[in-house]
Amino acid sequence: MATSWRSGSSSSFTSSALSAQPSHPQHASPPPLPSLPSPDCAAICLLTPRLSRKLFERTPNEMTVYLGPWEIVGSNPRRLLWQCSYAGEVLEHFLPSDNPNELFPHTLHAQHRRFGDPRELELYLSFQEPHRIRYTTTDGTLHDEYIEVKYEFTTIEGSIQLQSDIRKRDLIDWFDVDVVWSDVHRRTDSYGNVRGLGTIQRMKLWRDRYSTFHYLTFYANHRRRWKEYLVDDFERELRQRDDRHKRVQLGVRGARRGSASESSQGRERRFATSIFSRSSRHNHSSGTNGNTTSSAAQGALGIRYLGIQFSRNTNVQAGTDGKSVIYRSTPLNPCSTIILAVNAGSSSVKVSVYTAQRGEPPTQIAEVQVSGLTAPPAALKYERGDETVIEHREVDEQVNGQTDAFRVILETLVNDHDLPSIKSKDDIGIICHRIVHGGDYTKPQLVSDGTYTHLEKLNDLAPLHNANSLGIVRLCIKDFPSARSVACFDSQFHSTIPEHIRTYPINQEIARSNRLRKYGFHGISYSFITRAAAEFLGKKPDETSIIAMHLGSGASVCAIKDGKSWDTSMGLTPLSGLPGATRSGSVDPSLVFHYASDVGKLSPSSTKDLHISRAEEILNKEAGWKALTGTTNFGAIAAGDHDERGDKRLAFDLFVDRICGFVGAYYVSLRGRVDALVFAGGIGERSDRLRAAVVEQVACLGFALDRDRNDAGTVTGRKGVIVQEVGKPGVTPRVLVCRTDEQFEMARICAEEGEFW
């Protein structure tokens, strides 16, 4: 098995590793060659002690382990978990970085094996720095050491799959090239010797799994570090690449792992691995450094292009499919497109479709929603233009949760032949998603694997929302590969909340390192409400101060001072503040420990995407209207039907009490400078009884309701009416109902923000 991987060696990999019998230390007589579960996934990992720099020399410790399918598990560190061929045998490969973009599986250039099919070099993968490998059998751990790791695959597809899984980017092609240089790295040195940035390199082309971005990676051998560039423009130049003298120049942006001077002003942002760590669960996670460090931002010199000279060998250029690369850059700034805006709430999924011109407010052409996810049967409603195509269709059988609801919505849109603007999936240019918890993001983000990985870490902080939304994001990326996915955050509107209001009175070191503070939610809605109310009042948004209430399955109140969020009732998570359909809202934090035992344990309903303790489950899913009345339909609660036991009355009065508590507090916090009290959300827009009860209780602050206007003031469904007055004429502060539209707000931002085109 002695073979060398050193550059220039003509040694072949072919023989011994595959043909050798596995020298399994636990078996006296050599076991038969294992039958591997799936030939595509089968791999052989050759381990050799770190001591020896010469790989694969016969040493007493040398062993070959036959591996079956893999799984990538955990975080901090992520581990590649291999199923081995013997029961109880596990091989764990600890990935040195949780950031998938920082891992670079290495394959040699075809010149290192001149007489064979260069594609087969992908069968042999290595990592250039030692990684920790733990190999455990039923008899205990046999090996736990940092070593140089090399995998030898039985199929090229298996290797490509593993590389893609590790990097969370699909390896879509590769190129063996003679030299790579750039506008800041010359091709030759002052003696005319070829130096470039990398020589005799296998460059790999990756497509981000969560966006349409494409990246090139290669090993800059004279600097001994990996480089990764976002490719701007590709297609034309690389079609004819099997020519030694062919040189191309590619537009690129940014560099990962480059030195500061090699970085650019590109959009690449690298996040510290564990932005959010929860002390209760990940005690030792390294989540203290939440700063978003942009290596790119530091650079003075930007690389604008890479020059590439291909190698001559007709075989050499054969990439993953042997054909020329099929690379489609994202559409180049079209002037108009279709935007899909997706709002996954806790009890509904609402999707609106817009035609949009760059820089202009979008025009809605259709809206589909599935509501009642927590109050079955779930029902679908579909409007196209001014026409209600489906008023109410029960879809309970097809729908179990938000992702299913989204699928049903997509089907409805795609199967509607009278929706001419969408002829094919490629017509959709931008899909914007409401993501409830956006951590420290203060503006919408194009979804890349970086943002996606970052957002995944926030799932546990919005247990009824984030994981569902990311499920929909994943589905869109798969089903609409040519569309750009944009994440819009509920929390971003609240980034203006002053420090003394957003701070929790706890140990500040822990608060800072675990990022424990008030974030606030429903912000996309509050942003819409602020602009709509300002327009209605004839004021500039930044001169408008209101107390707005988004009352839906999740309910919150927000004090908006001069157009900006000043305070809001939700906090670190959407649990605090007002009660909701299944949420308790604020309770004494100790309550839960007296409610049930073992509440700190992980709930059995946790999934791989969402880790939720019993305590969180009780307060988020087994409380609120559901717990008090058995229904989550606030319409039925407000109507008080069949309320012999008085549960609904209690729930109604309790809700009014809690809402008024916040209105009073915010009125004082805004020093009485309030232009209007604004009702919004499913309940706020539809329940005249609730509005009447709230306004009556806060009448001492000067609010007054006009009964007639209020009774007629259900704005939802009344086309064209966005804000309606329900207060007494001439009385200030005013009382308004706003038909909030989170989808429109997201689509508007995406249409107006050139960056997303």
Of 488, 494, 442, which Cα lies nearest the Cα of 466?
Answer: 488
Q: Which residues pair with 573 in a beta bridge?
A: none
Type and span of the H or E element at 653: helix 647-669
Least distance from ligand ADP to the Cβ atom of residue 626, Å: 10
Distance CA 301, CA 293 (A): 17
User: Among residues 153, 174, 521, 679, which is the contact residue for ligand UVW, using CB under 6 A?
Assistant: 521
Query: Considering beta carbons, is residue 484 or 658 the nearer one to ligand UVW?
Result: 658
Q: Which does 521 bind (CB under 5 to 8 A by kind): ligand UVW, Mg ion, ligand ADP, none?
A: ligand UVW
Q: Which of residues 38-97 bind ligand ADP (CB under 6 A)?
A: none
Q: Which residues pair with 65 in a beta bridge?
A: 45
Q: Which two tokens stand for residue 429?
A: 């240019």
Q: Does residue 238 touch ligand ADP according to CB under 6 A?
A: no
Cβ burial of 539 (10 Å; 0-12, 13-18, 19+) is middle
Least distance from ligand UVW to the Cβ atom of residue 340, Å: 18
Q: Does residue 307 touch ligand UVW according to CB under 6 A?
A: no
Least distance from ligand ADP to the Cβ atom of residue 554, Å: 5
> For 498, what's the count of Cα atoms within 13 Å in the CB-facing half-sphere?
8
Q: Which two tokens stand for residue 14?
A: 């072919």
**Which residues, 6+ apart, have CB-to-CB distance to 28 below 8 Å?**
none
Distance CA 659, CA 418 (A): 44
Q: Which two tokens stand for residue 603?
A: 């709930």
SS3 290: coil
Asked whether 453 and 325 are in contact (CB, 8 A), the reply is no
At residue 74's C-alpha, the angle toward residues 68 and 77, to 5°, is: 100
Cβ burial of 288 (10 Å; 0-12, 13-18, 19+) is middle
Q: Does residue 574 touch ligand UVW according to CB under 6 A?
A: yes
Least distance from ligand UVW to the Cβ atom of residue 404, Å: 17
User: Among residues 158, 319, 345, 362, which is the contact residue for ligand ADP, using CB under 6 A?
Assistant: 345
Distance CA 698, CA 347 (A): 29
- Give the interface size with ligand UVW as a residue count (CB under 6 A): 10
Least distance from ligand ADP to the Cβ atom of residue 521, Å: 11
Question: Binding residue per annotation — 554?
Answer: yes
Q: Which does 56 bind (CB under 5 to 8 A by kind): ligand ADP, Mg ion, ligand UVW, none?
A: none
Q: Does residue 198 touch ligand UVW according to CB under 6 A?
A: no
Q: Which entry of 176, 208, 460, 490 is annotated as an active-site residue?
A: 490
The runs of H, that is alpha helices, within 398-542 are 402-414, 449-456, 466-479, 499-502, 508-513, 523-537
Of 108, 107, 117, 13, which Cα lies nearest the Cα of 56?
Answer: 13
Q: Which of residues 419-448 bind ligand UVW (CB under 6 A)?
A: 436
Of 79, 78, 47, which Cα lies nearest the Cα of 65?
Answer: 47
Q: Which does 635 bind (CB under 5 to 8 A by kind): Mg ion, ligand ADP, ligand UVW, none?
A: ligand ADP
Least distance from ligand UVW to the Cβ atom of residue 580, Å: 6
Residue holding tokens 């559409």? 331
Q: Does residue 196 touch Mg ion according to CB under 5 A?
A: no
**Which residues, 6+ apart, have CB-to-CB distance to 289 below 8 Å?**
272
> For 33, what's the count of Cα atoms within 13 Å in the CB-facing half-sphere?
7
Q: Does residue 345 touch ligand UVW according to CB under 6 A?
A: yes
Question: Binding residue per annotation — 742?
Answer: yes
Q: Going residue by residue from 537 to 576, which x/- string records binding to ligand ADP, judged by CB under 6 A?
A: ---------------xxx----------------------
Would residue 490 show up in a list of annotated catalytic residues for this protein?
Answer: yes
Q: Does residue 217 touch ligand ADP according to CB under 6 A?
A: no
Q: Which two tokens stand for residue 148?
A: 């140089």
Least distance from ligand ADP to the Cβ atom of residue 343, Å: 7
Whole-Å CA distances, 453 to 208, 380, 469, 638: 12, 32, 13, 42
Q: Which does 574 bind (CB under 5 to 8 A by kind): ligand UVW, ligand ADP, Mg ion, none?
A: ligand UVW
Phi, psi of 182 (to 5 degrees): -150, 180
Of 698, 694, 691, which Cα lies nearest the Cα of 665?
Answer: 698
Q: Which two tokens stand for residue 385?
A: 């233009």
Q: Does residue 345 touch Mg ion according to CB under 5 A?
A: yes
Least distance from ligand ADP to the Cβ atom of residue 487, Å: 17
- Using CB atoms, what's the residue nearest to ligand ADP? 682
Distance CA 250, CA 13 (A): 33
Q: Does residue 552 touch Mg ion according to CB under 5 A?
A: yes
Q: Does residue 580 touch Mg ion according to CB under 5 A?
A: no
**Which residues, 6+ apart, have CB-to-CB distance to 528 below 8 Å?**
738, 740, 741, 742, 744, 745
Least distance from ligand UVW to the Cβ atom of residue 517, Å: 17
User: Among residues 137, 348, 364, 629, which is the contact residue for ligand ADP, using CB under 6 A?
Assistant: 348
Question: Binding residue per annotation — 552?
Answer: yes
Q: Does residue 554 touch ligand UVW according to CB under 6 A?
A: yes
Distance CA 714, CA 167 (A): 50
Phi, psi of 101 (to 5 degrees): -75, -10
Q: Which does 633 bind (CB under 5 to 8 A by kind): Mg ion, ligand UVW, ligand ADP, none?
A: ligand ADP
Query: Considering beta carbons, is residue 319 or 552 the nearer one to Mg ion?
Result: 552
Segment near ligand UVW (CB under 6 A); pick from 470-478, 551-559, 668-676, 727-735: 551-559
Q: Which does 634 bind (CB under 5 to 8 A by kind): ligand UVW, ligand ADP, Mg ion, none?
A: ligand ADP
User: Among residues 199, 569, 687, 743, which is the contact residue for ligand ADP, using CB under 6 A?
Assistant: 687
Q: Which does 638 bind (CB under 5 to 8 A by kind): ligand ADP, Mg ion, ligand UVW, none?
A: ligand ADP
Q: Which residues in this chain contact ligand ADP in the complex, by CB under 6 A?
A: 345-348, 552-554, 581, 632-635, 638, 681-683, 686-687
List the binding residues for ATP.
Answer: 350, 550-554
List the binding residues for Mg(2+).
Answer: 343, 742
What are the residue numbers of the active site? 490
Q: Which residues in this chain contact ligand UVW in the complex, by CB under 6 A?
A: 345-346, 436, 490, 521-522, 552-554, 574
